[in-house]
Amino acid sequence: MSCLFCRIAAGEIPSQTVLADEHVVAFRDIRPQAPSHVLVIPRRHVDSLWELDDRELAGRLLAAAAEVARAEKLEQGFRLIANAREHGGQEVGHLHLHVLGGRPLGRMLSKP
């Protein structure tokens, strides 16, 4: 298995898990851009949001992102980002949602 996030989901590469269930895993970003920066991924490999055609999994990912925000106590607010494909600036080719918070994030619609 060569995909980095598949290996993290399988526990082959260590990560700081925030939550995990049968379908999704959330872990801390290795280069945090905010005091709280967590990535939410599906356990099964999906290249990016472009390829995601499973609405049930989409719902699970979104619900997990909200759970992460609550677990991180981001009651003052947070931002959810999905970089997709080349123009979206996606670096890791396994679908992931960034949950960012813990400081004001400004008005930019991009990853701070």
Would you state the structure tokens that stand for residue 83, as one six-digit string?
Answer: 């970089």
d(CA 24, CA 40) in angstroms, rounded, equals 7
Among 52, 62, 80, 92, binds ligand AMP (CB under 6 A): 92
d(CA 9, CA 43) in angstroms, rounded, equals 6
Q: Return the residues of window 45-84 that contact Zn ion according to CB under 5 A.
A: 45
**94 a catalytic residue:** no
Min dist. Cβ of residue 111 to ligand AMP (A): 7
Binding string to ligand AMP for residues 23 to 62, with x set by CB under 6 A, is what? Answer: ------xxx-------x-----------------------
Q: Is 102 left (phi over 0), alpha (psi -120 to 50) or beta?
A: left
